[in-house]
Structure formats: C-alpha cells, structure tokens
Structure 1
Amino acid sequence: MRVVLTGAHGFLGWHTRVLLSALGHEVDAVGRDGWATLPAALQRADGVIHIAGVNRGPDDEVEQGNIRLATTLAEALRSTAKPVPVVYANSVQADNGTPYGRGKAEAARILTAATSERGAVLRDVLLPNLFGEHGRPGYNSFVATFVDHVLHGRAPEVVDREIELLHVQAAARVLVDEFTADTAGQVHPAGTATSVSFVLETLQQLEAVYRNGDMPDLTTPLVRDLFNTLRAASFPERAPIPLSPRTDDRGSLVEVVRSHGGQGQAFTSTTKPGITRGEHFHLRKVERFVVINGCARISLRRVFHSDVVSFDVNGDEPVAIDMPIGWAHNITNIGDSELTTLFWTNELFDPASPDTWPETVGQP
C-alpha cells in the first residue's frame, strides 16, 4: 500500500510514518514545505492519512490554518483522476466552540464534501488527548510538559480533572487500520480514563525509581507508555546508566536490572569479533543492554533521523544502555575476543507479537 501522509514530521505524523514503514507500506511524507507535491503524490497513492494541522497560535491562525490545510487537500483530491480514500486525524474537541474545535470540524466538512463528490471514503477519526515519545513540551501534550518539569526537578501547576489519554502509537495504529474500511463514517478510539494528578504523580514515581537505573513496575500499559515517554525525553543525556560492581577475593558481582514489579525476561548472547547484532527498533517494549565481557559499540538512531548516537562499552566497567522507543539500535563487537552481552526486556517474548521491526542504524 502507498500512503500520502500529511503532517509527516510532526508528533503524530512521525509515529504514524514509523508504523507504516514497519508494516512495509510505502509513504509519501508531506511536511510543511511539501504541499506542492501533493497532486502528483495522490495520483500514485492508495489513500491519504491527513494529520497536518495547527494546534497552537493566535485564534484566527489556529482556526483558519486547519481549514486552509483541508481546503488544499480537497482541491488536490478533486483534481486527481481517481477517487482517493482519506483517513482524517480529527479531534474529540471538534465543534466544541473553540477556534481549534471549529477549525477541525470545518476541515471534516470540507473533506467529507470532496471525498463524497469523488466517490471516495472518508474515515473521520476523533482522537482523544494523545501523549507519547518525543512530544514537545508546551505544545503537543500536557504529558510532555509534565515530563520536562519532572526531569528538571520542577513542580508544574496542576488543575486536576478527569481525562482520557491515548498513546500516540495506538492512535497511529487506528489511523492505519482505518484503510480497511469501505464505508464513510466517524471513528471514536477509546483511550484510558485517568486524571491529570495521577499522570503527574506517576511520572514523579517513575523518575524516582529510574533515576538510579532501577526498573519501575510496568504492569499496566498506561504506566509503561508514560515510562517510555519519560525515557525518550531523558535520552541520550542520561545514558549510559552506571552499574556498581561488588568485588571481593572470589570475583565480582554486578546487579544489571532491579525490577520493582511486572514481567521481565533476561537472556545472553555471545558475538564474535567484528560482528553486529540488532538492527531493529521497538514500538512498546523496554529493552536493556549490558556488556558483561569484551568490548562493544552500541549505536542508536531515531527512525527517519540521520544522527547516530554511539557508546563504547566493556565488561570491565559495566553500564546499562536502555533502548528508546522508535530508535533503531545495534551492538558490534569491537574487541579481539568474544563478546558476551546480557539483554533484559519488560515482557515475555511473544512470537505472535515480537515488537521487533527491522531497521539499519548506519554509521556514526
């Protein structure tokens, strides 16, 4: 499947693009400067996921910006020789009377008219509050703002209320899955009911545990996703995590993982000199690498970004490297002897859902 993805470089757009790529779909990524390419991209597309929008700014800019983007897409759809289905990343705030709500609602009406005229399907996905890895503080989500405060030891002001949260990868999955629909209509993905105060308290507890390299209790998906959001915001500044060997006349002992609850699975591997393992990324699982013998280079690259972050590590000075969500990673034996590495993940391996997506890191 070939998908035109508008807003491809934003928060939800990046996560959706990563998922589409992981699933083997071709993506024409349309960013702020790519709208001139839209008509040509639509000619070869199987469908559109329309995420581009304006979330913050002066009231008129927010409202009219969302309308303008939908109008541009509608005009391109009308000029295309074939009917092109559209999945629209709308919001539960549509038609709530705010400039943002009015803009999102009007955008839905514009796209409904355009797809109807062309005999195509519009799936209008009303998303609740999103959160997740690489959100911008003060822009994408209050969760991103809370994470930034917690990591820097600040206490944000809290106006407590009940709220429904949906992890951004779950939202991306809904948008991708809607391509299978053959009728137009609205979709209301369900998030997790929680409160603003619970989110802040949970992030503070996660930070208190993880600050020393321990793994918190990751039993529930919401807490796991909040933890992954926190980890992403702290990487690579807090990596690697130092481990403290305990040595006596018998030898040494190193605690590589201290888990405060939930599942977990550990395994080891040996790697011959010059060999690289890994070359993949994850969308939900927590994974830790610890070299316990030999010398290695652990390299990571955020998917669709070019910069590679590398750490040279060895078994004589053990450290932990935790893999952020959406970062391709590998480990290479750079020594002259066999490399032994211990790996830990927060979930038991499931062959039906391994959450291991191939992606080459590249050279640092």
Structure 2
Amino acid sequence: MRVGITGGFGFLGWHTSCRLQAVHGVEAVRLGRGDFADPERLAAALTGVDTVLHIAGINRADTEETVEQGNVDLAETLVEALRANDRPVDVVYANSVQADLNNAYGRGKAQAAGLLARSAHATGGHFADLLLPNLYGEHGRPGYNSFVATFAHEVAAGRTPTVSGDREIPLLHAQDAAAALIAAAGSDVRETIPAEAVRISRVLELFEEFYALYHQRGEVPDISTPLLRNLFNTYRAAAFPEMWPLSAQVHADNRGDLFETVRAHGGPGMAFMSTTLPGQKRGEHYHLHKVERFFVVKGEAEIELRQLFHDEVVRFRLSGDTPSFVDMPTLWVHNIRNVGDTELVTMFWADQLLDPVNPDQYPETIAQEASA
C-alpha cells in the first residue's frame, strides 16, 4: 500500500509518518506547501498512491476569511490532483471537532469535507471523516500547535507561564490520532475521536512537577497512566537535548562508590545491565512511547540520537569515572557505543515490562537517513 500524507512535514503529519513506518512498515509520500503550490507537481507525487491522509490545514491567518477559504482551497487543490490521476483513491480526512461549529475554521473544515467526500466517491474510493479534538505530543510548536506545547517549552526553560480562562480541554495524543487516521483507511465513516478532558491548570501543574523531579533531579515522576506518560514524553521532547547528560551523586568510602541509578514515583519499570566490548555498540532502534535510560557505570561511551526523518545527530560522551546518564526521547533513533579501551558497563531502565509480542522497539540505524 502506498500512502500519501498532506501536511506531511507538520506536527501530526510527522507523527503519522513515524507510526506508518514503525507499525506498518510503510514509507509515506510526504506532501508539503511546495507540492500544493504546484498542481502538476502534486498530481505527479500522488501517482500510484492508494490512500491519502489529508492532514494539511490552516488554523491561523491574518483574517477569518483567509482561514475559512484556505482550508477549502487546500481541499480543491487536492481534489484536482486526484482527478488528474483518474483512479480510485481512498481519502482519510483529519477534520476538526469544530467542523460542527459556526466559526471560520469550522466552516472551512466542513466545506472541505464535502468536497473531499464527493471526489473520493466519484472515483470509486472511500472517504473517512475523522473529527479530531485538541492534539498534543512530542515536538509540537510552542505558541502554535497547542497550549500543551507552549507550557512544556516554557517550563523546560525555567519559566512559569500563566493560565487564563482555566477550563477542561479534551486532549488527544498525536500518536493516538495517527493510529485512528491509519485505521480508518478504506472505510466510509464520520467519527469523532474520543479524548480525555484535562484542566489547563492541571497540565501546567504536571509540567512543573516534571521540572522539579525530573529536570532538576533526574527522578521519573508518576507515569502510571497513558495520559501521564504522554504528557511526560511531551515534556521530555521540549527539554531535549539541553538537560542532558545528568550525573549521579556518588557516595564514596573505603569500600568503594555507591550511587542511585533510577528513582521512579509511579508506574511499572524494569532494569537490566550489559557489557559492551571496545568498538561495539548497542541500540539502533527507537520507541513510540517507552521511556528508556542509559546509565554508564564503567568505561567510556558515546550515545548518538537522531529524530526520525531528520538528519542532525546529537552526541553525548559519558564516562564511568563520573557516573552519568541520558534518557532516550521517544521517536528518536539511538545507540550507545564503547569508545574506550576497556569493557563498557551500562545499566538500562525502561518504564515498560518487556512484552515480546509488542516490545515498542523498532529497528533503525542512526546513519541510514543521515547519509541518504
């Protein structure tokens, strides 16, 4: 199956591309502003595509008219490109719960849904209309994608944002939204995707707790529920890479050294050790949700990390002479390599018990995309 994603370089588009690759082994055709600026280029990019996940949209502009018409224009451009290919294509629309409201954004999204539905059915394809609530997750843009992204970046930077108009907001993690979009392919449905209501002030309170426990002391807060884990991973993305590495407090006496490796405040977890010979490495994978810690106990190590579908590689050097650790952010490929002359001893900790059937671990090399 070939899948095209409009808005493929945006927040939800990136999360959906990551999930398609990890869970389904599908490399999406990611479509951006440049494709929509050139109808022929867009039509060519969609050649051979079986399913289009239409995520591109406009939610901010100088005028309300621009917001409303902008979403209609995007749908019309996509319809023309699909018509040019003259073949059945299933369309899944990342619509908004505001589509049922009488505001500029909602009206634009609703009109776009009608255009896309008629086009998909006219060519013999299916149309799924998914109404999404407020989205949050790793690498959202502060001041743009959601208040959650704004709060995460502000708190991670040591600042205290203010809450105005405190109320409950339905929140859906971007990976859950991506899963719903992918699952809807090939169906005819109009569905509101459920979310969990959280008070704005509660989100800020949790981020401030993450800062105090995790950012300042390296302790893992209570992440015993999916919401807590997802908000924690959102915060970790905002704090990476500036907060790393952290060094443990070492208590030394005539018997040797003692230091803590993990202090967790709630939820499951498991720890394990490895030895790595000089020049060898471990890892070369990424996770969608798992929290994982690399703690160098003895020897010399280099940790490499790369965000999925990005080229830049972040590197940390750790030494057992100063026992220290780095936590792996979700959706970042990572490895650890012995760069010393002696054996490397590493302790690993993860918040999930190993499930061989669903390990939340997907193979990928650091260099694969960077060298492409």
Q: TM-score, normalised by structure 2?
A: 0.94
Residue 178 of structure 1 pairs with residue 184 of structure 2: yes
| CA distance in structure 1 between the partners assigned to 2:268 and 2:101 by the alignment | 41
1:57 paired with 2:58, answer no
1:346 shift after superposition: 0.8
1:318 to 2:323 alignment: yes
Distance 1:271 1:209 in 2: 31
Matches within 5 A, 1:296-307: 296-307=301-312
Counterpart amino acid of residue 161 in structure 1: R
Matched, 1:122 2:92: no
SS in 1 for 2:98: coil
Task: Confirm or deny: 8 A CA contact 2:17 2:27 kept in the other structure.
Answer: no
The equivalent of 2:7 in structure 1 is 7
Instruction: Trace 1:123-272 onto structure 2 (pairs within 5 A).
Output: 123-151=128-156, 152-179=158-185, 181-182=186-187, 184-210=188-214, 211-272=216-277
By how many angstroms is 1:30 displaced? 0.5
Letter aligned with residue 157 of structure 1: V
Q: Is the 8 A contact 1:301 1:327 kept in 2?
A: yes
Report the residue type matching 2:275 in the other structure. T
Query: 1:157, CA displacement in angstroms?
Result: 2.5
Structure 1 CA distance for aligned equivalents of residues 248 and 142 of structure 2: 31
Deviation at 1:55, TM superposition (A): 1.7
- Partner SS state of residue 46, structure 2: helix
Shift in Å, 1:172: 0.7
Cα offset, 1:100, TM superposition? 1.0
Instruction: Return the offset for 1:79.
Output: 1.7
Structure 2 SS opposite 1:126: strand
Whole-angstrom distance in 1 between the partners of 2:350 and 2:165: 35
Match of residue 93 from structure 1: 98
Counterparts of 1:191 and 1:244, CA distance in 2:
41
Instruction: Report SS of the residue matched to 2:184.
Output: helix
Q: Is the 8 A contact 1:265 1:345 kept in 2?
A: yes
Q: Render the CA deviation track for 1:131-162: whole Å, top value 9, x for unaligned.
A: 00101111101111111222232232331112
Deviates most, 186-195 or 222-231: 186-195
Q: Distance in 1 between matches of 2:86 and 2:198?
A: 46
Give how far 1:337 is off: 1.5
- Are the aligned partners of 1:43 and 1:81 in contact in 2 as well (CA < 8 Å)? no
Report if aligned partners of 2:163, 2:200 keep a CA contact under 8 Å in 1.
no
Aligned amino acid, residue 4 of structure 2: V
Distance 2:267 2:90 in 1: 42
Greater Cα offset, 354-363 or 133-142: 354-363
The answer to whether the Cα contact below 8 Å between 1:132 and 1:228 also exists between their aligned partners in 2 is yes
Question: Is the 2:168–2:198 contact (alpha carbons within 8 Å) kept by the matching residues of 1?
Answer: yes
C-alpha contact (below 8 Å) 1:55/1:139 kept by paired residues: no
| Contact kept? 1:42, 1:84, Cα under 8 Å | no
- Residue by residue over 1:159-179, the C-alpha shift from the partner in whole angstroms, topping out at 9 and shown as x without a partner, is 111221110011111111112
Percent of aligned positions with the same letter in both sequences? 52
Q: 2:49 aligns with which of 45, 49, 53?
A: 45
**Aligned counterparts, 1:276-287, within 5 A:** 276-287=281-292
Correspondence for 2:29:
28
1:291 counterpart SS class: strand
Alpha-carbon distance between aligned partners in 1 of 2:81 and 2:335, rounded to the nearest angstrom = 42
**4+ runs deviating over 3 angstroms:** none
| Aligned counterparts of 1:341 and 1:72: Cα–Cα separation in 2 | 53
> For residue 84 of structure 2, what is the aligned residue in structure 1?
79
Which runs of 5 or more structure 1 residues have no equivalent in the other structure?
none
DSSP 3-state at the match of 2:182: helix
Decide whether the 8 Å contact of 2:282 with 2:337 is kept in 1.
yes
CA distance in 1 between partners of 2:334 and 2:79 (Å):
40
SS in 2 for 1:57: coil
Partner Cα distance (2:311, 2:66) in 1: 32
Q: Deviations over 1:17-55 (max 9, x none)?
A: 111111211311111112333212322111101101112
In 1, distance between residues paired with 2:87 and 2:153? 46
- Output the CA distance in 2 between the equivalents of 1:14 and 1:286: 20
Q: Any idea what SS the aligned residue of 1:34 has?
A: helix
Unaligned runs of 5+ in 2: none
Q: In structure 2, the residue corresponding to 1:105 is in which secondary structure?
A: helix
TM-score by length of 1: 0.96
